[in-house]
Structure formats: C-alpha cells, structure tokens
Chains A and B, each alone.
Chain A
Amino acid sequence: MAVAEGAEPISLEEESIHKSANPWADAWHMFRRNKASVISLITIIVIVFVAITATFWTKAGLIDARTGAKARHTINPVNQTAQDAYPDPGICARDGQGQNPYWCGWLDDESLAVVQDRYCFRAAPDVNQKQWCYVLGGDSQGKDWLSQTIYGAQVSLSVGFVGATMALLVGLVYGVISGYYGGRVDNIMMRIVDFMYGIPYLVLVILLQVFFTEIAREYQDSERGGFVGFVLDLNQDMGGLLFLFFALGVLSWIGMARLARGQVLSYREKEFVEAARAVGAKDRRIIFVHLLPNIMGPLIVAETQQIPGYIFTEAFLSFIGLGVQPGTPSWGAMISEVRTRGGFFSNRHILLVPSLALVITTLSFNFLGDGLRDALDPRLRGT
C-alpha cells in the first residue's frame, strides 16, 4: 500500500509511542494528585471494611451489638433471666473492693449501675490487668456506643450505596431513553419528571414510611402470607431497611434522569456518533459504546455527591423514629437517644459519637466527589 507523499509517519520518541494514555488511567492519575480525596477514599474503604466485618468482630468477642464488653470470659449476666444466657455468674466489677478493673469509657455512674444490674463483670484472672469495655461509652440501656456505631455504619453505608445505585440505574435508563429517542417520547417523559419535581421530597418519604408502618401493623394480626407477607418478613429481617430503600429511591432518580438526558443530548449530535451511524452501527452499539462511556463520568460524580444526602435522610428518619425499626443500630437512632432519654449535657458522648461518625462519613464522600469531579469531568479538568 502506498503511503501518501508528504504524509510520512510523524515520528515520535520511542518512549512516548509505548506510553498509553487510557482516559480512565488518566482520570486515576488525576485523582491521585488530590490529597483530600485520596484520604477520603481510604477513610471510606476503612469504614466499609469495618462495617462489613462487624459480625466477625462480634464473633471474635471484640465488640458486642448490645454491650460491647471485650472478651467472652469477662462478661457474664447476673442470672439466667438476663437477655442472653451468658454462663457462670462471676464477681461483679465493683463488689468487695469497690474498684472497677475495667476502663469504661464515658459510661457515667448511673449508666454503669444499670449495666451492672444486668451484667456483672467478672474480674480478669489478674485483677490489676485493666480490661476494655465501653471504649466510646454507652447509653443507659447498656448499649455499647462503639458497637452501635459500627453496626450503624452498616445501615448508613447501605442506604448511601443502595440509594445512589438505584438513582443511577433508574435515572440513567430513563434519561438515556428520553434523550436518545427524543421527540414525543422525550417530551412526555420529561413532563413526568417535571411533575415529580413538584413533590416535596421529605414529606413524601415520611408519608411512605408511615404508610409502610401502617401496612405492617395491619398484617401483624392477620396471618401472614403471599407476596406482601414475604416482603414484610424480608423488611423485618433487614431491620426496616427495605422500605427505607424504597422510600428513598422513589424520587431520588429524577435529578439523575435530567442529568443523563442532558448528557445524552450533548453527545448525541457529536460527529463521532454520526460517524458510527454512517458506518451502520445499531442504536444499542451507539448507546453502549459511544454514549455511555462518555456520559458516565459526570453521572458518577453527581451520584457520589448525592450519597451524603441519602445518609442524612436516613439519619433524620431514624431520628424521628420513622427510619430503621427500633432495636436496629443506626446513627440517627443513636442521636435520638438524647431526645428520648436525655443526657445532652451529662453524657456528651451519646450525641458526639454518632454525630462524628456521620460527619466523617459524609465529609469523606463529599471530598471523594470533588476528587472524582476533577478526575472524570473533563470540562473542569485543570481548573
């Protein structure tokens, strides 16, 4: 084959020829340069890891969903009527010597008395060896705040991820269909979105949660069965999370749908899409090969920045008692402890610990979102 004259291959240095600059690799390189984002990413990974392995820590005896004593052998119920059957009542922590061999965090005297009523700490083999319990304190019910925080992270993270994933999937499909096919389809689909934008988000979520609670109450008496019964049981097993996911997801996708549609519109008329069409590519190929890889960046960024919103909404709902079911650890429910049982001034850790967890998590997602925006959104690259 002849090479056109005056068009000899433009020679480049050997090393640059072999250097590949995949846009995704480029984005990763860009992301790594943002220190706050990297730290946030690491923080999120740690939180996710701890949350996922919570059950393991419980089994290992390091934490307990309810009490949080350190080791199996150091905690025993006073008697068999206590909530869980721990064998072998031992010596109470404070009995006799009046000394507490345990470092009991911020647990104040009143709370400690409650705990000691229910659980009696047997002294460690070596009385002088301090044992850890209630590292981050606890509440008047004897719940260990560290364990509660870790289990609460499970709820917050799953709400954040599931909310974001649902919004991304539904919004993406809706927006891409609307933007790509255009015309009357687009017009009708977007009017529906406009209508949904008019619904107050939080009010709808609260009403849905009330609605679900009502249904659950009605079904409680009657014999369970069928699909509704199955869903209710599943929700019960998930500690109320299923309905929470649903309530949060009902409206969360509309913003994403608009964004996805706008992105598709901006790329649909690009010449490379036209080139694909001129070659004979089908709609499916154009959408999946040409449009999606180009529009995903801004969508992922937007969704990452939405995650704190879902976490806050869950915390708010749990705070007012419409979130997770009672007994399921959640940061919002932990904060509401101050509301229901007091301790705003006397037991600051009750408010402080879950709030800090909330702030650290949401801040991390915000910084992560910033970093992703710089890395994935080419329009803002270099600014």
Chain B
Amino acid sequence: MNQVAPDTLSEHAGATSSETGREIILEVTDLKKYFPIKSGVLFQREVAAVKAVDGVSFKIFQGETLGLVGESGCGKSTTGRTILQLYRATSGSVKFRGQEITSLKGTSMRKMRREMQMVFQDPYASLNPRMSVGRIVGEPLVVHNIGTKKEREERVAELLKLVGLNPYFVNRYPHEFSGGQRQRIGLARSLALNPSFIVADEPISALDVSIQAQVVNLLEQLQDDLGLTYLFIAHDLSMVRHLCDRVAVMYLGKIVEIAESEELYTNPLHPYTQALLSAVPVPDPVVEEQRQRIILKGDVPSPINPPIGCNFNTRCPVAVDVCHEEDPKLEEVLPSHWVACHRVV
C-alpha cells in the first residue's frame, strides 16, 4: 500500500516542496476532455468541440480531501468522470499510485476500478429504481465476483450499518427512502469494494440543508475510519472550506488557483477566486454589512470557443494587454499556493 514513487513527483502543478514527503495517490497531468460536435446527415464530421476540460493538472495526496469548486459548466464533473475513466480522456495522463490508467482496458481497468469509486450528485437518479437496496449495494461484489452469496449478503449488511442504515432495509426499493438515505445507499455501494479513492461529485448539493451536515459528517467519519482520499466536487464554498484540506478553483475548463483551504479563503489571489469568495454570505450581521461583492460582468464564454490568452480576460476587472495574448501558467507564488494569473506574479 505504501509504495511511494519519488520519480513521479515531477515539478508539476499542485505538488509543493513542503509536501514531497507525502504519498501521491493521484496525479493528473494536462488532462483534456473535448466533446466533439458533429454535423451531417449520414456521414457526420466533427465541426467543433466543447472544451470541457482543457489542460488540468493537479495532485492528490494520500488521505486528504481536495475540493474542486467552480460555477456550473466549468468542467468540474467532467474532470471527476474523466479521472475515473467514465469518459475517455482526449489527451493528458492520469496516474493512480504511479500507474497510468488512461490507457488501461478490459480486465486491468476493471481491477483498477476497485480502487477508485464515485458518489453521485443526484440521489434519485443514481440508484436503479428496479433493484432492491441489497442488490444495489451488492452489485460491485457481483461484478467482481467476490465471495459467495452468503458472504456478499453479510458484507451488504455490514456496509449498510457502516453508513448508518438499518440492515433490514436490504429488500426495500430506492423510492421508499429519503434523499439523505439514498445518498447513504450510494455511499455504501461505492464503499463495497474497499476503494482508497473516492470522487464525490456534489454529493450534498441535491440534499436539504439539514441533511447535508449529516452526510458531510458521515464522509469525514468514513475518511477517518477507512483512510479514504476524496476528490470533493462542489459549489458550496463554505462546505468545501469545512471539509477540504486543499481547494482547486476551476474556470472554463482550467484550474486557476490551488491552495490549502485556509490560505485560499483568507488570501485569494486570482481575481476569479476573489469574486467567487465575495459571493459567500457571512453569518455575522456586522461583517455581512461591510461585505463588498465583486460582481463579474458578462457571462461565462462558450467552452466551444474560449477567449485567446487568459480565458478569464472577458470578465476580469484587472485584465491588461498581456492577458489577451498569453495563456497564464499555473505557478507557485506562495508556498503551496498556485495561481494562474499574469497580474499576480
């Protein structure tokens, strides 16, 4: 388990000098995912591409939670799904414990899937309505042909207990549960194979606020008990601050800033991050009164045809000429604090 691969610790975005001692569980390098737009009656040709993820690089360390935030349509979910190879990457590399997984196929890919699982956003769509809870949670075991029928049943009961559900529920169907309970079922399913890495794709945004805390606490508890590593995709910034060790901010398919959670919230450097954080309400009337919102003008440009240069230049309040010419690189401007902005350096 503890195979540290020092040679994979190349000087790339996300890795910091102070963290070289920690084991990297996942390394994403220049990952791109373009969705082709086709046209034509019978023989379709590609006329354009939606650049959903356009050159994303980061690392996730063993046992940490990396938050991935950004507004709708910026490519957060696509990044998560491409890492899990639910989408085939257009280019770039994803290394899990030093092993390249974008090229894996068939049996070796299936084996790799035992290590990395996903929790989905919509608890109503992520459970097959025609399957009982027992079958849903036990499905990974069946797919990987683990254990006998009886052993699988025991494991399912154990998993249900683990996520705080009554094991009596095995014969019930998803529609009989509330959103929070369904999310627990989805969590139990993703834990069935004992994965070490979980992509949580907005696991709480479809839940009631009162239930959100329960599920977040459960995620933290499971992380402590099972030593899980999370990629936590969200747009609720205060929840991310609470849960994540480090946070990456995405805009239009690119990462604009990565930093330790506290550092990012107290000292945001990228103008987009600043705007994003200024939108978070503060539960203190005095502070709230003085809060200055940075209102960005215009809309997010189309990912089919992103702007030349820095892709934030159409809305950036501090953009200068160079921003329209050159794409800024993600650079470490402070220890463990990486920003892609011409104006910060």
Contact = CB atoms under 8 A, between A and B. Distances in A.
Interface of A: 1-12, 17-18, 20-23, 184, 187-188, 191, 270-272, 274-282, 285, 289-290, 293-294, 378
Nearest to B41: A191
Q: Report, nearest first, the 5 A-B pairs whose CB atoms are least far apart.
A: A7-B164, A4-B221, A271-B126, A280-B110, A293-B130
Contact of A7 (B139, B144, B163): B163
Contact of B161 (A1, A275, A277, A285): A1
A376 B65 CA distance: 43
Nearest to B193: A279
Given A6-B214, A23-B173, A276-B143, 14 more contacts: A1-B162, A4-B164, A6-B213, A6-B218, A7-B163, A7-B221, A9-B166, A23-B129, A272-B127, A278-B117, A279-B139, A280-B140, A293-B131, A294-B128
Nearest to A17: B168
A9 B160 CA distance: 9
Interface in B103-117: 109-110, 113-114, 117
Interface stretch (B181-189, B297-305, B307-315): B181-189
Contacts of A21: 172-173, 175-176
Contacts of A20: 171-172
B217 interface: yes
27 contacts: A1-B225, A2-B162, A2-B221, A6-B214, A6-B217, A7-B214, A7-B218, A9-B164, A10-B165, A17-B168, A21-B172, A22-B132, A22-B173, A23-B175, A184-B44, A191-B42, A271-B120, A271-B122, A272-B125, A274-B81, A274-B120, A276-B128, A276-B139, A278-B84, A278-B190, A279-B117, A280-B109
A290 B173 CA distance: 14
B144 A280 contact: yes
Interface string B115-158: 00110111001111111100000011001100000000000001
Contacts of A22: 132, 173
Interface residues of B, number: 55
A10 B166 contact: yes
Contact of A275 (B118, B132, B166): B118
Contact of B164 (A8, A12, A290): A8
A336 B166 CA distance: 67
A254 to B, nearest CB: 18
Contacts of A11: 166
A294 B129 contact: yes
Contacts of A184: 44
B221 A5 contact: yes
B318 interface: no
Indicate the member of B114, B130, B164 with the most A CB atoms within 10 Å. Answer: B130
B86 interface: yes
A275 B186 contact: yes
A205 B222 CA distance: 64
Contacts of B41: 191
Interface string B205-218: 00000000110011
Contacts of B144: 279-280
A178 to B, nearest CB: 14
A281 B139 CA distance: 9
Contacts of A378: 129
Contacts of A187: 42, 44
Given A7-B218, A22-B173, A272 B164 contact: no
Given A9-B165, A281-B143, A275 B120 contact: yes
Contacts of B165: 9-10
A191 B129 CA distance: 32
Contacts of B178: 10
A3 B159 CA distance: 10
Interface in B28-43: 41-42
Contact of B118 (A6, A9, A17, A278): A278
A267 to B, nearest CB: 9
B302 to A, nearest CB: 22
Contacts of B42: 187-188, 191
Nearest to A19: B172
A275 B126 contact: yes
Given A2-B225, A23-B129, A278 B162 contact: no
Contacts of B190: 275, 278
Indicate the member of B109, B118, B181 with the most A CB atoms within 10 Å. Answer: B118
Nearest to B167: A9
A241 B127 CA distance: 45
A378 B175 CA distance: 12
Contacts of B172: 20-21
A3 B164 contact: yes
Nearest to A184: B44
Indicate the member of A6, A188, A290 with the most B CB atoms within 10 Å. Answer: A6
A4 B184 CA distance: 11
Contacts of B110: 280
A280 B172 CA distance: 24
A7 B113 contact: no
A272 B161 contact: no
B161 A3 contact: yes
